Chain A
Amino acid sequence: MSENKVNSVSQNKITALSGVFIALAMILSYLENLIPINVAVPGVKLGLANLVTIVSLFKLGLKPTIVISIGRIVLSGVLFGNVTVIIYSLAGAFLSILVMYIVKKIKIFTVTGVSICGAVAHNFGQIIVAALILENANIMYYMLVLAAIGALAGTAIGILSGIILKNIRF
Chain B
Amino acid sequence: MKPEKEKLISIGDIVLLATVILLCVVVTVLLVTSREDGLEVEIVSDGEVVKTMELKKDAEYEVVTDRGTNLVVIEDGQVTVKEADCPDKVCVNHKPISMTGETIICLPHKLVIEIVE
Contact = CB atoms under 8 A, between A and B. Distances in A.
Contact of A130 (B6, B9, B21, B107): B107
B88 interface: yes
B52 interface: no
A133 B24 contact: no
B112 A113 contact: no
A160 B114 CA distance: 40
Given A112-B9, A147-B20, A147-B24, A141 B47 contact: no
A135 interface: yes
A151 interface: yes
Main secondary structure of the interface of A (DSSP, over half): helix
A134 B20 contact: no
B8 A162 contact: yes
A116 B20 CA distance: 9
Interface stretch (B25-33, B54-62, B69-77): B25-33
Given A135-B47, A152-B17, A155-B17, 15 more contacts: A40-B94, A84-B107, A109-B12, A110-B6, A112-B8, A112-B9, A133-B107, A134-B112, A135-B46, A138-B103, A141-B103, A145-B24, A147-B23, A151-B16, A162-B9
- Range of interface residues on A (Cβ < 8 Å): 20 to 34
A148 B112 contact: no
B107 A134 contact: yes
Main secondary structure of the interface of B (DSSP, over half): mixed
A159 B78 CA distance: 43
Contacts of A42: 88, 90, 105, 107
Contacts of B21: 148, 151-152
Contact of B47 (A109, A134, A147, A163): A134
A109 B12 CA distance: 6
Contacts of A111: 6, 8
B99 to A, nearest CB: 12
Nearest to A163: B8
A110 B16 CA distance: 11
A113 B114 contact: no
A32 B46 CA distance: 30
Interface in B1-46: 3, 6-10, 12-13, 16-17, 20-21, 23-25, 27-28, 31, 44, 46
A108 B20 CA distance: 16
A36 B58 CA distance: 34
Nearest to B20: A151
Contacts of B31: 141, 144
